[in-house]
Amino acid sequence: MKGLDRLDEVRAWRAQAATLRVGFVPTMGALHDGHRSLLQAARAHNEVVVVSVFVNPTQFGPGEDLAVYPRDREGDERMLTEEGVDVGWFGTIDDLYPRGFATRVEVPTLATRLCGRQRPGHFAGVSLIVLKLLNVVRPQRAYFGLKDYQQYCVVRQLVADLNLDLEIVPCPTQRESDGLAMSSRNRRLSNEGRRVAPILYAGLAAAKRGFCDGERRASALLMTALRPILDEPRVRLEYLDLVDPRTLVPIEGTVDQGGAVLAVAAHVDGVRLIDNVLMAEDDATTGVR
Ligand code: AMP
């Protein structure tokens, strides 16, 4: 694994690898087995794999957890090496947001749904950094986790609207054995927070079981997910929404052939966690683990 910090080094590497097909995994580091699954998918399908590690300040709002976001360069380098990654780009603020930086990138409608209500500038920050990273790395494929479902939708829209010539590959959410979605932020949970955090997935999974058993009423699916979550006093719910998988608009009435995404955001002992499950006709029989 070649560890590079400077943007001009990444550009130089890409220039000499110009004929190679690149799979790219953008991350904010503190890598865990959720990230590992993306690295493995990229490794399996591309000649070379590039991973960026950069905690992007423009996607954090005032009062959010930028200052305490977990950082672990040593652990990250270890995982990149273990997974046979070719280049790890540890981006710097000076390169990515030099003095005088002024441009904004927005995907307005999708960005205002779900997490966008409480995090107004978040997806503009994500869109900006993803576009910048793609412009430097110029991959043929980029890998995104469905754990951040709204982010995946925003990036897909951005890539289509701006005619970027690459494939966006969605990757399934990786979970701990008790169902908790893996996340760098899980490192910040207290023991008690870690104990109760799986309740989010328990609620989503109960609703998905209902869907698999034929329930299609949005209100019933939402109530099923809400019950266990509201019973846990350490969980402060931000939202629980059942939305159209493409537009992210809340579903009223019943889920149709297009399916749904049930998405949750909650603060568990002060740590903000998100999760979601997909409800699709064609996997109605698969159920959840
Ligand atoms: P992050 O470092 O949190 O910005 O995540 C980098 C990439 O890893 C994003 O595409 C995430 O969606 C993905 N990712 C994070 N956690 C998981 C997970 N538990 N399962 C699958 N992908 C994940």
Nearest in space to 86 (alpha carbons), one of 1, 13, 5, 19: 1
Q: What is the pLDDT of residues 179-224, one digit of tens each?
A: 999 999 999 999 999 999 999 999 999 999 999 999 999 999 999 9
- Would you name the residues annotated as active-site residues? 35
Nearest in space to 89 (alpha carbons), one of 183, 170, 12: 12
Instruction: Compute the distance from residue 276 Cα to the ligand 1 centre, in Å.
Output: 13
Q: What is the pLDDT at residue 284?
A: 52
Contacts of 135 (CB under 8 A, 6+ apart): none
Q: For the whole prediction, is pTM greater than 0.75?
A: yes
Q: What is the pLDDT at residue 206?
A: 98
Instruction: Compute the distance from residue 83 Cα to the ligand 1 centre, in Å.
Output: 16
E-assigned strand segments in 99-232: 141-145, 167-171
Which residue minimizes the CA distance to atom 14 of ligand 1? Answer: 145
CA distance 287 to 205: 8
Instruction: Compute the distance from residue 147 Cα to the ligand 1 centre, in Å.
Output: 6
Tokens of 75: 């652990």
Instruction: Compute the distance from residue 275 Cα to the ligand 1 centre, in Å.
Output: 11
Which residue minimizes the CA distance to atom 5 of ligand 1? Answer: 27
Q: What is the pLDDT at residue 289?
A: 42
Contacts of 177 (CB under 8 A, 6+ apart): none
pLDDT higher than 80, residue 70: yes
Backbone dihedral region of 233: left (phi > 0), alpha (psi from -120 to 50 degrees) or beta?
A: alpha
Atom of ligand 1 nearest to the CA of 184: 3
Atom of ligand 1 nearest to the CA of 175: 19
Q: Are strands 141-145 and 87-90 parallel, antiparallel or unpaired?
A: unpaired
Helix, strand, coil percent values for the chain (each to nearest 5): 40, 20, 35
Backbone dihedral region of 38: left (phi > 0), alpha (psi from -120 to 50 degrees) or beta?
A: alpha
Q: Are strands 271-279 and 260-268 parallel, antiparallel or unpaired?
A: antiparallel
Atom of ligand 1 nearest to the CA of 35: 8
Ligand 1 pocket test, candidate residues 24, 33, 38, most atoms within 8 A of CB: 38
CA distance 60 to 259: 31
Residue showing tokens 């997806």: 123
Site residues for ligand 1, CB cut-off 6 Å: 27-28, 34-35, 37-38, 144-145, 147-148, 171, 173-174, 181-184
Binned at pLDDT 50, 70 and 90, residue 287 comes out as very low
Is residue 78 within 8 A of residue 39, CB to CB? The reply is no
Ligand 1 pocket test, candidate residues 24, 32, 35, most atoms within 8 A of CB: 35
Q: Are strands 22-27 and 2-4 parallel, antiparallel or unpaired?
A: unpaired
Ligand 1 pocket test, candidate residues 147, 182, 276, most atoms within 8 A of CB: 147
Q: To 5 degrees, how large is the angle CA 26–CA 30–CA 34?
A: 65
Q: What is the pLDDT of residues 76-103, one digit of tens each?
A: 999 999 999 999 999 999 999 999 999 9
Instruction: Compute the distance from residue 145 Cα to the ligand 1 centre, in Å.
Output: 5
- The sheet carrying 260-268 orders its strands as 235-243, 260-268, 271-279
| SS3 (DSSP) at 169 | strand
Atom of ligand 1 nearest to the CA of 148: 12
